[in-house]
Amino acid sequence: MRTIQHWIGGKPTEGTSDRRSPVWNPATGQQQAQVILASPADVDEAVQSAATAFLTWSQASLSMRSTILFRFRELVSKRVPELAGIISDEHGKVLSDAAGEVQRGLEVVEFACGLATVLKGEYSDQVSTGTDVFSFRQPLGVVVGITPFNFPIMVPMWMHPVAIACGNTFVLKPSERDPSVSRLIGEMWAEAGLPDGVFNVVNGDKEAVDALLDNPQVAAVSFVGSTPIARYIHRRATTNGKRVQALGGAKNHAIVLPDADIDYASDHVVAAAFGSAGERCMAIASAVAVGGAATDLLAAVTEKAKAVKVGPGRQPGCEMGPVVTSIARDRIVGLIGSGVAQGARLVVDGRTIVVPGHENGFFVGPTVIDEVTTEMDIYREEIFGPVLSVLRSDTVDEAIALINANPYGNGTAIFTSSGEAARRFQRGVNVGMIGINVPIPVPMAYYSFGGWKDSLFGDKHVHGPEGVSFYTRAKVVTSRWPRTDHASDASYLFPTAV
């Protein structure tokens, strides 16, 4: 059985723990590896390695840092197919989707390659006679990333390229469900010339996470995962005096107006609901049909959901793979059953799907459930599976109110041909990322990614300008170089500009 190790100080290590967790192949239902679950001592070793590396990395020139980032970008982009294969084998998503995830991660690396521009400070000449003021930003120290299973490359890449570009050192605690790619990322950083200890990976579960949150040498924590854990991470790490951004779960709505192109809208709603088997924090979980859109929309999504090609992620032509574990599958199946029991109407039932040759895989077929109401568990819970709930509202304003009453606020979309309705929507919804005729509005890397309400604990979104702000702190210098023959003008008054 293959054993997945940590990556500490520029080399693989097994650490001191004898705890292990299975890594499944979701398409076959077979265990394919085991990952070591770090002990607190292993975590401390990784943090110490990063703390030691910070002493020199924080002094590395901007040109040295950007040279390494450019090399890293080239190494990752040459290995996209290999990385996509590993992701598909452990996560289950189809190869093209996995390659797309690597590409979206690379966009953050490209943003970080421009660090010399984004780290430029400010300068005010002659704020007072003979006095100038300038500001610049410095790294925090050892920063930590704790990441979910659903984007094993992209989500860590929202963090480490920006943190490292800003002069920090990094400890990644990836999901224990699909940890293999993180080790390869460590090797690629090393090949790019990153000094040992600047990027480290500790595999583990709650025990490792808690050791990171409590370690006094950790300056900041970036977390992405489910809302209960995000809330916990934020509380514990801020209590320990750390800077924290903790991105949580989601329940994203797409509203479809009667003036929308229903063919276009239904194509995109179905792709956004069932792509990656719904295991995306930006997946569309709820379609809200406004007024007369309901009949045509329901007919179109029903037909298109039935046509989705489901199978193993590596099989050419497949559009949707399995979900990540049997536990996830059973939970999704249970939530669909609860929807039926609570009065919703099951239109497409994915619970009994069988994929020939992969009978033991963790498959759930595309599921469409109509007449869902906001009190039902299937609406209130984040399902994180291939289930599209259909709700109705009479007006755009009623649909906006429905979205705003939901505790999550990650992403949302409107399908319409009315600029007025789109503008009312974009201004009125309490959600961080909004798509107008775009179902999954994940911002480009030079903007920042983040939700509102229970989808984010902390102030800063990830990557882009807010990521740079999160991983640095500002210094403001007031400077004066008086002439040697200048009479002293020291005063007991609070200094004012003259």
- Indicate which residues carry an active-site annotation: 281
Determine the interface stretch with ligand NAD among 3-11, 145-153, 186-194, 302-310 (rule: CB under 6 A). 145-153
Structure token pair of residue 252:
């994203």
d(CA 86, CA 183): 11
Q: Where are the beta strands (DSSP E) in 294-366?
A: 345-348
For residue 377, state whether it binds ligand NAD (rule: CB under 6 A). Answer: no
Pairing status of strand 433-436 against strand 218-224? unpaired
User: Looking at beta carbons, which residue is closest to ligand NAD?
Assistant: 225
- From 51, 83, 118, 229, residue interacting with ligand NAD (rule: CB under 6 A): 229
Other beta carbons less than 10 A from residue 120's beta carbon = 11
- Tokens 């659903």, residue located: 150
For residue 238, state whether it binds ligand NAD (rule: CB under 6 A). Answer: no
Q: How far is the CB of 404 from ligand NAD (least distance, A)?
A: 18
Determine the interface stretch with ligand NAD among 1-9, 29-37, 46-54, 242-250 (rule: CB under 6 A). 242-250
d(CA 306, CA 302): 6
Other beta carbons less than 10 A from residue 439's beta carbon = 23
Residue 311 or 432: which CB sits closer to ligand NAD?
432
For residue 148, state whether it binds ligand NAD (rule: CB under 6 A). Answer: yes
Restricted to residues 294-313, the positions that interact with ligand NAD (CB under 6 A) are none
Residue 151 or 199: which CB sits closer to ligand NAD?
151
For residue 149, state whether it binds ligand NAD (rule: CB under 6 A). Answer: yes
Binding mask 45-84 for ligand NAD (x = CB under 6 A): ----------------------------------------
Distances (CA, A) of 322 to 29, 274, 384: 10, 11, 12
Laid out side by side, the sheet with 122-128 consists of 122-128, 131-139, 472-480
For residue 203, state whether it binds ligand NAD (rule: CB under 6 A). Answer: no
For residue 176, state whether it binds ligand NAD (rule: CB under 6 A). Answer: yes
- Does residue 253 contact residue 282 with C-beta atoms inside 8 Å? no
Other beta carbons less than 10 A from residue 275's beta carbon = 23
Determine the interface stretch with ligand NAD among 52-60, 116-124, 241-249, 287-295 (rule: CB under 6 A). 241-249
Determine the interface stretch with ligand NAD among 87-95, 143-151, 330-338, 352-360 (rule: CB under 6 A). 143-151
For residue 472, state whether it binds ligand NAD (rule: CB under 6 A). Answer: no
Question: What b-and-e string marks burial along 225-264, b requiring 16 or more CB atoms within 10 Å of the CB?
Answer: bbbebbebbbebbbeeebbbbbbbbbbbbbbbbbebebee
Q: Where are the beta strands (DSSP E) in 37-156?
A: 122-128, 131-139, 142-146
Chain residues in the site for ligand NAD (CB under 6 A):
146-151, 155, 173, 175-176, 205-206, 209, 224-226, 229, 247-250, 281, 382, 384, 410, 451, 455
